[in-house]
Amino acid sequence: MLLDMYASMLRIRLFEEKIVDLYPEQEMKCPVHLCIGQEAIAAGVCLNLRKDDYVFSNHRGHGHALAKGSAMRPLMAEFYGKVTGCSRGKGGSMHIIDVENGILGTSAIVAGGIPMGVGAALASSIRKDGRVTVIFFGDGAYDEGALYESFNFASLKKLPVVFFCENNFYATNSHQSARQSACRISEAASAFDAHGVCIDGNDVIEVYKATQDSINRARKGGGPSLIEAKTYRWKGHVGPEADYEKGCRPKEELLYWMERCPVKVMRELLLSRSVATESELAGIATSVTDEIEDAVKFAKESEYPPLSDLLTDVYAPVKETL
Amino acid sequence: MPWTKVYSNKAEFEKALSDNKDLRGLAYKDALLEATSQMLESDETVFVIGEGIDDPGGVFGSTKGLHLKFGRERVMDSPLAENGITGVAVGAAVAGMRPILVHMRVDFIPLTIDQIVNHAAKWRYMFGGKVSVPVVIRSMIGRGWGSAAQHSQSLQSLFTNIPGLKVVMPATPYDAKGLLRASVYDGNPVVFIEHRWLYEHMGHVPAEPYTVPLGKAVTRRAGRDATIVAVSYMVYESMCAADILKNEGIDCEVIDFRTLKPLDMPHILESVSKTGRLVIADTGWKDTGIGSEIIARVVEDGFGVLKAPPERVNLPEAPTPASPALEKAYYPGKNEIAAAVRRVVKRG
């Protein structure tokens, strides 16, 4: 399991770093919201999930999709606006879908995907299909009314949902303390008679355990949980640069969190406990790098959508016989 | 045809019933109830959600008793959280259900714009057609008894501007039942707007399930001198106006376009090509309303067919007042429609 956690985090880290490398080429003509530094959350959460469990995410959703099992090719192709992309080039990096892996689409409106995730959980509840829905959102979404409306309903109906707040302290460049009076996000759960917990979002094992507890609770009909995981986004709100370079936050803050890099910490743990050797870890890195290179090649070589796609998919075709 | 016939009042329908034993009379609200009940009965993916839908009144009768028949797991009251609950319905639709969401007042819909405009309308396109959003959002226009500015709006034009949505406004009990079923099975987000003043209207409604296709207008009355294009409650006012004008020797054609998006322009254009005169009667305001769109398309697609400038009958450019004196002056009806037709006829 520890090795799975490491592999999942590394897969996200190297994928995102590749975007950092390639973005200046300006061939990826869409905004990218990178999650470097936050990988422990996606990995720790998704290792608890079944393939058919639902995940709802947001504009910063690459890591969630990768951790849930999405292949790199359709993701990378989507970022390049190619017809082979997961959304056929119509969504871009903010709008990822992978129906087979339970990702029914990601919203780029802050908190916009939260009620939809609760809706998917309601569908599961009506169908009694045993699925759990995890909804990822940031501390910015805590400012939005949609969260409270959704949380109340999920708790009222005891829906199988885990509300997972990735608290990276910044909504674009606005610090949490400038936006929120209490800065104790997980405590909101008590107002809805639900389980709430605040954890270290850079500790993948802690993330895994907290999520496991909430998912077990949800699957048994115990209703929703709110997990607040404190973490840090190394890059800017959007794009490959770091925020301190633009004067948006102190460099010392970034350096503090880089010391707490979830990938590095896990790597040291694996080696110190002799769970894996250097060469085994290098082997994981090589296979991830190969997957990334293959995805980039695939994306670059793929075609753009034909212009006839401009007006397709606006409406589902209407069946004649009802 | 009994299913396209508009009965202006209950007495007229009761007379029709006594003349034709094959007719089955049902009120508009009961037609909606019957459609919903039949879909809940036959399709496990259908569920109904909305504020107060399981109260004894049952949304003015249109959901009455459904929770007793199908249980509160499928017919559920909801918190007063219009945007959140709309998102819940949208998410459930994306996950394979066919929710019928009820917002008891159109005026509550502005609270839900994020989920309808940013999410429901775009979800299929944004993901390259990998998923669809088969959700129906029912809502009701109120009128009268001092309902005032926040309980009486006709906001359909907010949605006709958005690709990805469909907008439906049934005028008759027959269409209420058939269009609701067609909307639920359309596979797309449908904003389904009803008018409270239609709820007690009686008409022929077959007992078995049926659909009325979206995007198809219907001619309620044939005529040669002028075309009145109307929707929802204004269809009735237009039929009455046509009766008045008949006595004056003006023969009106009345078209009920039923669906605002997509709009059945070929049907409207065919009639206008015949009469050369056009008056549009809408329940909402004038600026960038559906009447603006119809006139624009008549000019774009049929430039030269008009013998006279067209007219629009809309609400005055003000929120709805509460005072009965002002309220009476606020709403246009058969007399205003007839006056508009007279002016158009006089001009060419």
What CATH code would you report for A2-311?
3.40.50.970
Is A74 touching B (CB cutoff 8 A)? no
Among candidate residues A8, A37, A36, the one with its CA nearest the CA of residue A23? A36
Q: Which stretches does DSSP call E strand in chain B? A: 25-27, 46-50, 75-77, 98-103, 136-141, 166-168, 190-195, 202-204, 218-221, 226-230, 252-256, 259-261, 278-285, 311-315
ipTM: 0.96
Query: Cα separation of B201 and B61, whole Å?
Result: 13
* Contact list, B126 vs chain A (CB under 8 Å): 87, 90-91, 95, 105
Q: Do domains B10-204 and B218-347 have the same CATH topology?
A: yes
Compare CB distances from B128 to A90, A114, A146 and report the shortest one's residue. Answer: A90
Residue A209 DSSP SS3: helix
Tokens 């509300």, residue located: A163
Please report which confidence band the pLDDT of residue B21 belongs to, taking 50, 70 and 90 as the band edges: confident
In a mutational test of the A interface, the residue from B85, B130, B133 whose CB has the highest number of chain A CBs within 10 Å is: B130
* Contact list, B101 vs chain A (CB under 8 Å): none
> Would you say residue B6 has pLDDT above 80?
no
Are the C-beta atoms of A146 and A115 separated by less than 8 Å? Answer: yes
Angle subtended at Cα B119 by Cα B87 and Cα B113, rounded to the nearest 5 degrees = 70
When mean pLDDT is compared across A76-80, A250-254, B134-138, B166-170, the lowest value belongs to A250-254
Please report which confidence band the pLDDT of residue B193 belongs to, taking 50, 70 and 90 as the band edges: very high
CATH class of B218-347: alpha beta
Mean per-residue pLDDT, A38-66: 98
Q: Where are the domains of chain B?
A: 10-204, 218-347
Residue A301 DSSP SS3: helix
Sign of the torsion angle spanned by Cα atoms B107, B108, B111, B114: negative
Query: Cα separation of B220 and B229, whole Å?
Result: 10
Q: What is the pLDDT of residue B2?
A: 63
Are the C-beta atoms of A33 and A158 separated by less than 8 Å? Answer: no
Are the C-beta atoms of A182 and A211 separated by less than 8 Å? Answer: no
Q: What is the pLDDT of residue B16?
A: 83
Is B125 close to A314, i.e. CB distance below 8 A? yes
> Would you say residue A322 has pLDDT above 60?
no
Are the C-beta atoms of A294 and A30 separated by less than 8 Å? Answer: no
> Would you say residue A321 has pLDDT above 60?
no
Residue A248 DSSP SS3: coil
More confident residue, B15 or A134: A134
Are the C-beta atoms of B51 and B23 separated by less than 8 Å? Answer: no
Is B127 touching A (CB cutoff 8 A)? yes
| 8-state DSSP, B225 | S
Among candidate residues A186, A43, A23, the one with its CA nearest the CA of residue A93? A23
Distance from the Cα of residue B287 to its chain's centroid: 19
pTM for this model (two decimals): 0.96
Percent of chain B with pLDDT over 90: 93
Is A73 touching B (CB cutoff 8 A)? no
* Contact list, A118 vs chain B (CB under 8 Å): 84, 87-88, 91
Among candidate residues B328, B299, B306, the one with its CA nearest the CA of residue B316? B328
Pairing assessment for the beta strands B202-204 and B25-27 based on DSSP bridges: antiparallel
What is the least distance, in Å, from the CA of A313 to any CA of chain B? Answer: 5
Q: What is the pLDDT of residue B58?
A: 94
Q: Which two tokens stand for residue B237?
A: 């006012």
* Contact list, B88 vs chain A (CB under 8 Å): 115-116, 118-119, 122, 150, 153
Q: What is the pLDDT of residue B267?
A: 98
CA nearest to B181 within chain A:
A322
> Would you say residue B213 has pLDDT above 80?
yes
Please report which confidence band the pLDDT of residue B178 belongs to, taking 50, 70 and 90 as the band edges: very high
CA nearest to A150 within chain B:
B84
Sheet holding A54-56, edge to edge: A54-56, A133-138, A161-167, A225-230, A195-200
Which residues of B are the active-site residues? Answer: 151
Query: Cα separation of B158 and B162, whole Å?
Result: 8
Compare CB distances from B114 to A97, A112, A312 and report the shortest one's residue. Answer: A112
Q: What is the mean pLDDT of chain B?
A: 96
Is A137 touching B (CB cutoff 8 A)? no
* Contact list, B71 vs chain A (CB under 8 Å): none
Is A97 touching B (CB cutoff 8 A)? yes
Distance from the Cα of residue B293 to its chain's centroid: 17
Mean per-residue pLDDT, B90-112: 97
pLDDT in tens, B107-134: 999 999 999 999 999 999 999 999 999 9
Mean per-residue pLDDT, B261-267: 98
- Hey, how many other C-beta atoms are within 10 angstroms of the C-beta on A256? 11
- Hey, how many other C-beta atoms are within 10 angstroms of the C-beta on A321? 5
Instruction: Please give the single-letter amino acid code of residue A277.
Output: T
Query: Cα separation of A118 and A3, whole Å?
Result: 32
Please report which confidence band the pLDDT of residue A114 belongs to, taking 50, 70 and 90 as the band edges: very high
Q: What is the pLDDT of residue A247?
A: 85
Query: Cα separation of A125 and A129, whole Å?
Result: 7
Query: Cα separation of A162 and A227, whole Å?
Result: 7
Pairing assessment for the beta strands A195-200 and B75-77 based on DSSP bridges: unpaired
Q: Where are the domains of chain A?
A: 2-311
Q: Which two tokens stand for residue B46?
A: 């259908």
Among candidate residues A59, A67, A74, A68, the one with its CA nearest the CA of residue A106? A59
Report the CATH fold assignment for B10-204. Answer: Rossmann fold (3.40.50)
> Would you say residue A320 has pLDDT above 70?
no
Q: What is the pLDDT of residue B1?
A: 61
3-class secondary structure per residue, chain A: CHHHHHHHHHHHHHHHHHHHHHHHHCCCCCCCCCCCCCHHHHHHHHCCCCCCCEEECCCCCHHHHHHHCCCHHHHHHHHCCCCCCCCCCCCCCCCCCEHHHCECCCCCCCCCHHHHHHHHHHHHHHHCCCCCEEEEEECCHHHCHHHHHHHHHHHHCCCCEEEEEEECCEECCEEHHHHCCCCCHHHHHHHCCCEEEEEECCCHHHHHHHHHHHHHHHHCCCCCEEEEEECCCCCCCCCCCCHHHHCCCCHHHHHHHHHCCHHHHHHHHHHHCCCCCHHHHHHHHHHHHHHHHHHHHHHHHCCCCCHHHHHCCCCCCCCCCC
Phi-psi group of B50: left, alpha or beta (phi > 0 → left; psi -120 to 50 → alpha; rest → beta): left
